[in-house]
Amino acid sequence: MSKTLLSLGHGYSARALANVLIPKGWRIIATTRDPDKATALRATGVEPLIWPSEVNAQSLDQATHVLISVGPTKAGDPVLTHLKAAITRAAPRLLWVGYLSTTAVYGDHGGGWVDETTPPFPASKRGHWRVGAENAWRAIPDLPLHIFRLAGIYGPGRGPFAKVRAGTARRIIKPGQVFSRIHVEDIAQVLAASMARPNPTTPCAIYNLCDDDPAPPEDVIAHAANLLGLPVPPAIPFDQAEMTPMARSFYGENKRVRNGRIKDELGVELIYRGYREGLAAMIET
């Protein structure tokens, strides 16, 4: 059987992976809720399916590999709600299943380091939902599951430059606060490396996806402004900043994430080792 990826929830990271796989001869079947987006996907060489009406057991029958990018809700994992029985039946013959999770499952560590052996201890609702979704996927027998815990994602079309140019960027200062990040091209290369070398020994392989340089968010904004030759946005103390509840919740988790496993087990060499390299590449394109 030719290699076929069923991409459930074909978003930003999954599109980057498709850009890597299609030139290598992969068939990509991907879901979207929007018929207009389906037309755009077809133009890139992807075979679109409308979620959930067109996605069923026959969709899984065509796949050798499955990527899940759909986030959970309070009610649970939408993919398992719709397809659990079919996925359970297909599990023994699938070669690889990837679930995109988040480093939010680790919660707050006061700026300390975490790795894949750190027990989940989420501090937010979305973190709790992710732990529940991870556990639900892990409970499926014989599923060749690989969980990827993603740090903050950036890349083309997702970065600080637009806000810096518009004069709306803010340097919010919370002393000691750091975030880990990952460029979307590095997400794609890690997923591709895992698909080429599925973990045959671990019932559920877990990988942190982040770069080598956890950094304060205000440093990233300042560096973006410097690259553009624009004034560095003024500093705003965290307790004085107007923020949405969602944005404020991110500052409730402070940790540095280790990425050694993607290097040691998958042989990955990051394209962008830190935000400086990633932002420089973005401004050059």
Q: What CATH number should be reported for the domain holding residue 78?
A: 3.40.50.720
Question: How many domains would you assign to the chain?
Answer: 1
167-196 mean pLDDT: 97
Res 284: pLDDT: 77
> pLDDT for 43-84, tens place per residue?
999 999 999 999 999 999 999 999 999 999 999 999 999 999
Residues 6+ apart with CB under 8 A from 3: 21, 25, 26, 27, 64, 65
Position 201 pLDDT exceeds 90 = no
Dihedrals φ, ψ of 28, to 5°?
Answer: -120, 120
Position 166 pLDDT exceeds 90 = yes
Q: What is the mean pLDDT of the chain?
A: 96
Position 18 pLDDT exceeds 60 = yes
Q: Examine residue 201 and state whether it is found in any structural domain, yes or no.
A: yes
Q: Examine residue 169 and state whether it is found in any structural domain, yes or no.
A: no
Q: Examine residue 102 and state whether it is found in any structural domain, yes or no.
A: yes
**pTM for the predicted model, two decimal places:** 0.97
Res 124: pLDDT: 93
pLDDT band per the 50, 70, 90 thresholds, residue 199: confident
Three-class SS state of 43 = helix
Q: Examine residue 284 and state whether it is found in any structural domain, yes or no.
A: no
Q: Examine residue 72 and state whether it is found in any structural domain, yes or no.
A: yes
Q: Examine residue 282 and state whether it is found in any structural domain, yes or no.
A: no
Structural domain containing residue 37: 4-154+182-210+257-271
Tokens read off for 106:
């680790």
Res 285: pLDDT: 63
Q: Examine residue 74 and state whether it is found in any structural domain, yes or no.
A: yes
> pLDDT for 203-235, tens place per residue?
789 999 999 999 999 999 999 999 999 999 999
Question: In which region does residue 110 sit, left (phi positive, over 0), alpha (psi from -120 to 50) or beta (all else)?
Answer: left
Tokens read off for 233:
């946005």
Single-letter residue type at 17: L
Res 221: pLDDT: 97
Q: Examine residue 76 and state whether it is found in any structural domain, yes or no.
A: yes
Three-class SS state of 9 = coil
Res 1: pLDDT: 55
Res 165: pLDDT: 95
Res 2: pLDDT: 85
pLDDT band per the 50, 70, 90 thresholds, residue 180: very high
| Apex 84 CA angle, 82 and 85, nearest 5 | 110
